[in-house]
Amino acid sequence: MGQSEITEFIHSLGKVKEDRATRERLILFKTVPEGQICAIIHDSSQPLRLEAKCDSTLAKVLRDKYETVSPSKNMDARNWNEIIASGQLDSEQIKDLLRLSYNLVAKIN
């Protein structure tokens, strides 16, 4: 799952706009109109790195289970994970985590 496919998927979740933090080479995906960050992509990273929000219990479970999942360095590390998309998590798992992140931030149940 590449950067363009993940970007397209995030936009399919709802009203989302992109902001760029050029110094850190991050693409911030924010809900519209609230402007809350729901996902982050590390632009042009190889392998692709992204960040998604989840509850703290799931965050810990994922970190314990997968070596490619670690605490976020850019967001609240209790609830945000950085994921290296190198194949350990498949594309459906990544989509599920991005969907969860969007739903948590946009307050969708």
Query: Any idea where the domains of the chain sit in the sequence?
Result: 3-106
pLDDT in tens, 82-97: 999 999 999 999 999 9
Contacts of 47 (CB under 8 A, 6+ apart): 84, 85, 86
Q: Which string of DSSP letters, residue by residue, matches 10-34?
A: HHHTSSEEEEEETTTTEEEEEETTT
CA 23 – CA 44 distance, rounded (Å)? 13
pLDDT in tens, 19-36: 998 778 999 999 999 999
For the chain, give the percent of residues with pLDDT over 90. 92
Q: How many CA atoms, within 13 angstroms, populate the side-chain half-sphere of residue 76?
A: 10
Q: Which CATH number fits domain 3-106: 3.90.1150.30, 1.10.10.10, 3.30.360.10, 3.30.1960.10?
A: 3.90.1150.30
φ, ψ at 78 (rounded to 5°):
-70, -35
